[in-house]
Chain A
Amino acid sequence: MSNGEKVTIRKLPTGVPGLDEVLGGGIPEYSFNLIAGGPGSGKTTLAHQILFANATVERPALYFTVLGEPTLKMLRYQQQFRFFDLEKVGRCIHLLNLSQVVLEQDLSQVLASIARDVDAANPAFVVVDSFRTVTRAARPGEMELQSFVQRLALLLTSWQATSFLVGEYVESEMRDNPVLTVADGILFLTQAVERNSIVRKLQVVKMRGQAPVPGLHVFRITDDGLQVFPRLHVRLPAVREAKEDQRLPTGIPGLDEMLGGGIPQGDAVLVAGPSGAGKSLLTTQFIAEGASRGEPGVIAIFEEQIGDYLANARTLGFDLDAMIRSGDVRIVYLRPLDLSVDETLYELQERAAAVSAKRVVVDSVAGFEMALAPTFREDFRESLYRLVGALTGGGMAVLLPTEVTESFLDLRFSPHLVSFLADDIILLRYVEIEGRLRRVIAVVKMRGSRHSHEIREFEITGSGLVVGEPLRGYRGILSGMPVPGDGLTQAPFPGLTDREMLVLRAVTDAEEPTVPELARLTALRRPALTLALDRLVALSYAVRVKEGDHLVYRRA
Chain B
Amino acid sequence: MGESPQAVRAWVREKLIREAGENGPPATMAAAAEHILRPLSAHLARLVGDAGFEALLARAVALARREVPALCADPGGGQEGLVQCLREMEGEHVCGSATAVVTALVDLLASFVGVDLATSLLREAWPDLPEMGDGAERAGDT
Contact = CB atoms under 8 A, between A and B. Distances in A.
B52 A89 contact: no
B114 A97 contact: no
A90 B49 contact: no
A72 B50 CA distance: 13
Contact of B52 (A86, A87, A99): A99
Contacts of B120: 86-87, 89-90
Contacts of B124: 90
A95 B113 contact: no
Contact of A96 (B47, B50, B142): B47
A103 B46 CA distance: 15
Contacts of A222: none
Interface string A72-90: 1101100110000011011
A375 interface: no
Contacts of B142: 80
Interface residues of A, number: 19
A135 interface: no
Nearest to A67: B49
B46 A96 contact: yes
A398 B135 CA distance: 60
Interface residues of B, number: 20
B41 to A, nearest CB: 13
Interface string A38-75: 00000000000000000000000000000000111101
Contacts of B48: 70-72, 97
A100 interface: yes
A211 B46 CA distance: 39
Contacts of B114: 76, 79, 86
Majority DSSP secondary structure for residues of B touching A = helix
Given A76-B112, A79-B140, A99 B49 contact: yes
B103 to A, nearest CB: 18
A54 to B, nearest CB: 20
B1 interface: no
B44 to A, nearest CB: 9
Most buried by B among A73, A75, A80, A99: A75
B63 to A, nearest CB: 16
Most buried by A among B113, B116, B142: B113
A76 B114 CA distance: 7
Nearest to B116: A86
B95 to A, nearest CB: 28
B69 to A, nearest CB: 28
B109 interface: yes
B42 interface: no
A70 B109 CA distance: 13
A75 B51 CA distance: 17
B138 to A, nearest CB: 11
B112 A97 contact: no
B117 A71 contact: no
Interface string B29-46: 000000000000000011
B121 interface: yes
Contacts of B116: 86
Contacts of B109: 72
Contact of A72 (B45, B46, B51, B112): B112
Contact of B113 (A79, A87, A100): A79
Contacts of A73: 112
A97 B46 CA distance: 5
List 4 tightest A-B contacts by C-beta distance, closest first. A97-B49, A99-B49, A72-B112, A75-B113
6 contacts: A71-B47, A90-B121, A96-B47, A97-B47, A98-B49, A99-B51
Interface of B: 45-52, 56, 109, 112-114, 116-117, 120-121, 124, 140, 142
Interface of A: 70-73, 75-76, 79-80, 86-87, 89-90, 95-100, 103
Given A70-B48, A79-B114, A100-B45, 14 more contacts: A71-B47, A72-B48, A72-B112, A75-B112, A80-B142, A86-B116, A86-B117, A87-B120, A89-B117, A97-B45, A97-B49, A97-B52, A98-B49, A100-B51
